[in-house]
């Protein structure tokens, strides 16, 4: 039997979903216009009034919000309700710069936890599960969101937070955790660690993992599934819209269903801002349809992906987004050439290397330098027949073809690149230190 947390929403017809979205949007635009001076000014500048927005068809008339707006309006400039109605503050991880803060009423927390509960239910979670939450707790949204979702589903919740990996594994075994929630890089690290501790995946009771908050490849999914003996599912979210659970993967493991009764998604051309038709690749933009305290309209996520309404085998009708593989602002400009870390990762996977790598960019004598440190896996390391220098040269060549510039590749011993307990840090741009 199929299980849904909220079937009336998750399997609604497109017509019913549209009616719900339109009704919520009209109210939301009015709420924001009346209560958020910052956005009212943006609308006035564009000559748009709340009455002009009669449904999602009219959304393109509204101005965008960007991370720069959030930083400018920090901390209270986009708050749409009295602070005394708020019960929570969370903050971004600051991956790409100054952190921003988001506010939640109790209603906003409930809505968010419902989204996370849908995600847990979609991977088969019920009140018979033990859900180990190994995302960081605190200002980061990962721990709080999944903790709340786990409670709503009725799972026995293990609020471990990230880190202390040995204890993590001991509790996982002793308390029979069946669902693990953490970043994919931490899941990979836990997978390596159980092996080092002599624990086999069969010694664990894990059946599903809900891994998100950063990009990860299908290759990583397979590795994690093998090392932990579970099925690995993706989950997506951002602090600006609430946190994890904005979109979640189902049993099909092929794209994430967006909780579109709360978050309306558009794909735009990042250069022109023009809305692109379904199926196009572009920047994901979210409009929060019913959040009270921090309701962002047309927020540009900078995440690049594709939307699809193709029928899903799980029975959910919620629109799906593809895995976002990197952000538009991940781009490094090295010697005038645009380089995305995800391109380097693609080459590594293709050439049979691990995804434990570190990119270091610096400037010497006014020229940018690009160094890529790549960890060898134990088999490659013990293969003394092949010379390291030749391997480094071959890999640098493969990267040059992909990137258009010559990197310096350094192959390093297994387990020498620092593992992450949260979001992985893959790029160190030392040029910023000199500026």
Q: Binding residues for ligand ADP, per CB under 6 A? A: 92-96, 212-215, 234-239, 301, 303, 323-324, 327
Residue selected from 25, 208, 250, 334 as contacting Zn ion according to rule CB under 5 A: 250
Residue 239 near residue 100 (C-beta atoms within 8 A): yes
Rg (CA), the chain: 22
Element (H, E) at 343: helix 341-350
Q: Which is nearer to Zn ion, 119 or 339 (CB)?
A: 119
Residue 95's binding partner among Zn ion, ligand ADP, none (Cβ under 5 to 8 angstroms by kind) is ligand ADP
The span from the CA of 347 to the CA of 398, in Å, is: 7
The span from the CA of 173 to the CA of 179, in Å, is: 12
Q: Which is nearer to ligand ADP, 53 or 79 (CB)?
A: 79
Q: Which is nearer to ligand ADP, 184 or 407 (CB)?
A: 184
Q: Which is nearer to ligand ADP, 92 or 165 (CB)?
A: 92
Residue 228 near residue 222 (C-beta atoms within 8 A): no
Residue 281 near residue 12 (C-beta atoms within 8 A): no
Residue selected from 314, 348, 391, 424 as contacting Zn ion according to rule CB under 5 A: 314
Q: Work out how close the CB of 128 gets to ligand ADP at its nearest, in angstroms, rounded to a whole number.
A: 26
Q: Work out how close the CB of 52 gets to ligand ADP at its nearest, in angstroms, rounded to a whole number.
A: 29
Q: Work out how close the CB of 265 gets to ligand ADP at its nearest, in angstroms, rounded to a whole number.
A: 13
Q: Work out how close the CB of 394 gets to ligand ADP at its nearest, in angstroms, rounded to a whole number.
A: 30
Q: Work out how close the CB of 224 gets to Zn ion at its nearest, in angstroms, rounded to a whole number.
A: 20
Dihedrals phi, psi of 222, to nearest 5 degrees: -65, -45
Q: Which is nearer to ligand ADP, 94 or 315 (CB)?
A: 94
Q: Which is nearer to ligand ADP, 169 or 304 (CB)?
A: 304
Tell me the two tokens of residue 65: 């919000």
Residue 335 near residue 408 (C-beta atoms within 8 A): no
Site for Zn ion contains 235 (CB under 5 A): no
Q: SS3 for 169? A: helix
Residue 320 near residue 330 (C-beta atoms within 8 A): no
Candidates 52, 226, 238, 223; CA nearest to 140 is 238
What distances in angstroms separate CA 339 from CA 106, 336, 359, one per listed residue? 42, 9, 11
Q: Work out how close the CB of 316 gets to Zn ion at its nearest, in angstroms, rounded to a whole number.
A: 4
Q: Which is nearer to ligand ADP, 22 or 355 (CB)?
A: 355
Residue 316's binding partner among Zn ion, ligand ADP, none (Cβ under 5 to 8 angstroms by kind) is Zn ion
- Interface segment toward Zn ion; rule CB under 5 A; list 42-50, 76-84, 306-314, 368-376: 306-314
Q: Which is nearer to ligand ADP, 323 or 426 (CB)?
A: 323
Candidates 291, 294, 271; CA nearest to 283 is 271
Beta-ladder partners of 256:
249, 321
First to last CA, the chain: 59
Site for Zn ion contains 358 (CB under 5 A): no
- Interface segment toward Zn ion; rule CB under 5 A; list 79-87, 146-154, 246-254, 281-289: 246-254
Residue 341's binding partner among Zn ion, ligand ADP, none (Cβ under 5 to 8 angstroms by kind) is none
Site for Zn ion contains 221 (CB under 5 A): no
Q: Which is nearer to Zn ion, 48 or 252 (CB)?
A: 252
Q: Work out how close the CB of 274 gets to ligand ADP at its nearest, in angstroms, rounded to a whole number.
A: 21
What residues numbered 61-100 form the site for Zn ion, per CB under 5 A? none
Site for Zn ion contains 118 (CB under 5 A): no
Element (H, E) at 185: helix 184-196
Residue selected from 48, 101, 252, 398 as contacting Zn ion according to rule CB under 5 A: 252
Candidates 303, 268, 288, 242; CA nearest to 119 is 242
Residues in binding contact with Zn ion, number by CB under 5 A = 5
Candidates 146, 141, 144, 140; CA nearest to 120 is 146
Q: Work out how close the CB of 95 gets to ligand ADP at its nearest, in angstroms, rounded to a whole number.
A: 3
Site for Zn ion contains 316 (CB under 5 A): yes
Residue 286 near residue 309 (C-beta atoms within 8 A): no
- In this structure, are strands 263-268 and 332-334 parallel, antiparallel, or unpaired? unpaired
User: What are the DSSP E strand ranges found in 74-186?
Assistant: 86-91, 101-105, 130-133, 156-158, 179-182
Q: Work out how close the CB of 422 gets to ligand ADP at its nearest, in angstroms, rounded to a whole number.
A: 9
Q: Work out how close the CB of 213 gets to ligand ADP at its nearest, in angstroms, rounded to a whole number.
A: 5
- In this structure, are strands 256-258 and 320-321 parallel, antiparallel, or unpaired? antiparallel
Site for Zn ion contains 12 (CB under 5 A): no
Tell me which residues touch Zn ion (CB under 5 A): 250, 252, 312, 314, 316
């Amino acid at each position: 039997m199929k299980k849904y947390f909220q079937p009336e929403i998750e399997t609604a017809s497109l017509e019913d979903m549209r009616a719900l979205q339109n009704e919520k949007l009209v109210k939301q635009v009015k709420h924001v216009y009346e209560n958020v001076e910052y956005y009212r000014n943006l609308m006035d500048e564009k000559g748009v009034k709340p009455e002009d927005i009669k449904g999602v068809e009219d959304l393109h008339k509204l101005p965008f919000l960007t991370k720069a707006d959030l930083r400018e309006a920090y901390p209270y400039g986009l708050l749409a309700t009295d602070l005394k109605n708020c019960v929570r503050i969370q903050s971004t991880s600051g991956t790409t710069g100054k952190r921003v803060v988001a506010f939640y009423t109790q209603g906003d927390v409930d809505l968010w936890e419902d989204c996370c509960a849908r995600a847990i239910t979609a991977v088969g979670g019920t009140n018979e599960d033990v859900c180990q939450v190994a995302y960081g707790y605190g200002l980061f949204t990962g721990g709080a969101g999944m903790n709340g979702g786990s409670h709503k589903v009725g799972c026995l919740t293990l609020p471990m937070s990230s880190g202390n990996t040995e204890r993590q594994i001991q509790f996982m075994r002793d308390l029979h955790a069946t669902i693990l929630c953490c970043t994919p890089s931490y899941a990979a690290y836990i997978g390596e660690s159980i092996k080092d501790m002599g624990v086999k995946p069969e010694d664990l009771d894990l059946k599903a993992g809900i891994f998100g908050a950063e990009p990860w490849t299908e290759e990583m999914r397979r590795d994690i599934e093998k090392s932990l003996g579970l099925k690995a599912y993706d989950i997506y979210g951002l602090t600006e819209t609430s946190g994890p659970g904005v979109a979640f993967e189902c049993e099909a493991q092929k794209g994430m269903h967006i909780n579109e009764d709360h978050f309306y998604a558009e794909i735009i051309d990042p250069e022109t801002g023009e809305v692109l038709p379904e199926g196009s690749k572009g920047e994901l933009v979210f409009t929060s349809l019913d959040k009270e305290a921090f309701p962002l309209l047309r927020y540009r996520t900078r995440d690049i992906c594709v939307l699809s309404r193709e029928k899903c085998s799980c029975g959910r009708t919620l629109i799906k987004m593809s895995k976002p593989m990197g952000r538009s602002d991940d781009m490094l400009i090295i010697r005038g050439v645009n380089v995305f870390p995800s391109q380097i990762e693609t080459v590594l996977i293709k050439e049979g290397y691990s995804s434990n790598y570190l990119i270091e960019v610096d400037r010497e004598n006014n020229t940018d330098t690009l160094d890529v440190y790549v960890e060898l896996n134990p088999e490659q390391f013990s293969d003394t027949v092949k010379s390291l220098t030749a391997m480094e040269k071959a890999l640098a060549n493969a990267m040059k073809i992909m990137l258009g510039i010559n990197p310096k590749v350094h192959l390093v011993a297994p387990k020498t690149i620092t593992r992450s307990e949260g979001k992985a840090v893959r790029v160190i741009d030392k040029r910023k230190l000199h500026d």
